[in-house]
Amino acid sequence: MKRYIALSSIFAVFSVFWACSSSTDLAAADDNQDEQSVASSTSTKSSASKNPSSSGDSVIVVDSTKINKVIDSSKVYISSGKTETPYYSSAVAFCWNEGCEANLPSSSSKAKSSSGGGVTIDTPSDEPPTVNGDKLIDNRDQKTYNLKTVGDKLWMAQDLNYAFGQSKCFNNEDSNCDKYGRLYTNSDAQKVCPKGWRLPNRSEAEAVMNDDSYPWSYSGRCKSTNDCGFTGEMGFHWIDAEPQSGDKNYDENQGSKFTVIIVEKEPGYAGENEQKFFQVDDREKHFSVRCVQE
């Protein structure tokens, strides 16, 4: 009897150990299956990110221990076997070769400004405007402008008011932008017209200067030092042309620092003096822009 009891006890203990061992193995198997499932899912996503058009790539697993390298070096390392492939990030785009984001197409968000101050972006949005009869809708910011045909060219008949680059409102007051449009440096003026539109050349500018029905605005100007003046008395508009000897201030303003503008004086302010003429002036001053359709 004692022998039977002893054997029963040994068998019971063995059963307990066997059950625990089996349970541990099953749990491990379940955990292993879960890990494989997660790894498989991660592998699929990583492979798709690397080359979404290829279905025959080998499995690539993201090594989560390397993700923190993004913070220090702008690289995500992709681990495949014993090799690591850097995945570069510029905070704007992700690509496989260092510096390759420079070749990606850039996009511009709509420029914003406060208190009439300028903002700095390199390239305006390239979304073309909508033209309906004598109205243009600038789809970059949904502002509407009157249009007028002079000669064979369609002109904006109002000063452009698109926030871009170092543009500003007269005296940094937003209400002046609404009334007169924005003032631009020459560098910004050459880029700011909507897609399919540009600054006028000299012959196109001469045509509107000789057309008494073409409406000008006497929106003044600002120097680079924020010294603003002449609003309500004179308007100054950029054109795309080389200075000529007959232009006002040609002799005094020589060199690449200067280019041509149109000056329009309010009739009462001009008096008996010339009302509209070309003038050579500083590229860094802030003047108005009228765009013509290409």
Q: What is the pLDDT along the chain (294 residues), one digit of tens a residue?
A: 444 444 444 444 444 344 444 444 444 444 444 444 434 444 444 444 444 444 444 444 444 444 444 334 444 444 445 544 454 444 444 455 555 545 544 433 444 443 344 444 456 667 899 999 999 999 999 999 999 999 999 999 999 999 999 999 999 999 999 999 999 999 999 999 999 999 999 999 999 999 999 999 999 999 988 899 999 999 999 999 999 999 999 999 999 999 999 999 999 999 999 999 999 999 999 999 999 999
pTM for the structure as a whole: 0.60
Conformation bin of residue 203: beta by default, left when phi > 0, alpha when psi is -120 to 50: alpha
Nearest partner of 199 among 209, 187, 210, judged by Cα? 187
Q: What sign for the dihedral angle of Cα 162, 167, 168, 170?
A: negative
Pinpoint the alpha helices (H) of the chain: 2-50, 69-73, 174-180, 186-192, 202-209, 267-270
Query: What's the farthest any 2 CA atoms get from each other in the chain?
Result: 137
